[in-house]
Copies of this chain bind each other. A is one copy, B any other.
């Protein structure tokens, strides 16, 4: 017998899984299979969806919850599908950087990934408003210039009028930007207007603007508008990027690379 019935609706089952994972912080695929009476393939597919939604993080043998911040210590794992995509995107971005370039690094986990790759590039100048990116490069490697400004603690980035004051006085060859969401209609959006303003400002000062955004950001829209697609030169994303973007964005002058 290949298939039986559809005992529960998929969203309902996924919600059940989410709660089970959150309850004990961690759950094994095999246990979930017994509990829900479906095949391991289905469990795996559900976990994949939940990971894309940011609810759980998959590990070999099961998944851990991402909803309780208590588990943050197991958070920084490099094996999760998400992190793999981010790293691939960051590596692609790294190859765009030429010798002696000056680059801007935006906040966000993908650009932080890129920062790590720059640790032994003594020829570069890195401008950033991300405290964590600066921290990664604070021991050795490129010349580091921080933008200054008020520290927005939730994103660990510097924003506000003081940031603008510095940004108006610098220029970079390439700006590597992150975003909370992007879609064809509204372009790039993020949650905080101050952050959005800083982003748009640095994009003005860059010869080339590269957007690093995995496919989970696609079709997401946030409160504050950052920029339209005209300002973006390159989009680096992963293979799950909806084909609409691959078809449409080149018409706006955006080169799209998926990894």
Judged by a CB distance under 8 angstroms, whether A120 is at the interface is no
Judged by a CB distance under 8 angstroms, whether A165 is at the interface is yes
Within 8 A of B (CB), among A126-173: 131, 134-135, 137-140, 143-151, 153, 156, 158, 161-163, 165-166, 169-170
Listed stretches A72-80, A180-188, A189-197, A230-238; interface member = A72-80
A148 to B127, CA, bound (A): 10
In the assembled complex, which residues on chain B have CB atoms less than 8 Å from the CB atom of A150? 143-145
Judged by a CB distance under 8 angstroms, whether A12 is at the interface is yes
Listed stretches A56-64, A85-93, A98-106; interface member = A56-64
Proximity string of chain A (108-123) to chain B, C-beta cutoff 8 Å, 1 when within and 0 when not:
0000000000000000
Give the shortest distance, in Å, between A146 (CB) and chain B (any CB).
Answer: 5
Contact A9–B158 (Cβ < 8 Å): no
How many A residues touch B, CB cutoff 8 Å? Answer: 47
In the assembled complex, which residues on chain B have CB atoms less than 8 Å from the CB atom of A162? 145, 148, 166, 169-170
Contact B10–A59 (Cβ < 8 Å): yes
Contact A77–B11 (Cβ < 8 Å): yes
Within 8 A of B (CB), among A39-60: 53, 55, 59-60
Give the shortest distance, in Å, between A78 (CB) and chain B (any CB).
Answer: 10
In the assembled complex, which residues on chain B have CB atoms less than 8 Å from the CB atom of A134? 131, 151
In the assembled complex, which residues on chain B have CB atoms less than 8 Å from the CB atom of A221? none
A9 to B6, CA, bound (A): 29
A41 to B6, CA, bound (A): 18
Please name 21 pairs of A and B residues whose Cβ atoms are closer than 8 Å in the assembled complex, sorted by A: A6-B61, A9-B59, A9-B62, A10-B61, A11-B59, A11-B64, A11-B77, A53-B76, A131-B134, A131-B146, A138-B151, A138-B153, A140-B153, A144-B151, A145-B149, A146-B148, A146-B149, A146-B151, A148-B158, A148-B163, A166-B166
**Additional 13 contacts, C-beta under 8 A, given A148-B148, A166-B166:** A6-B61, A9-B60, A10-B59, A11-B26, A15-B74, A55-B73, A131-B138, A143-B150, A145-B150, A145-B162, A148-B163, A162-B166, A165-B169
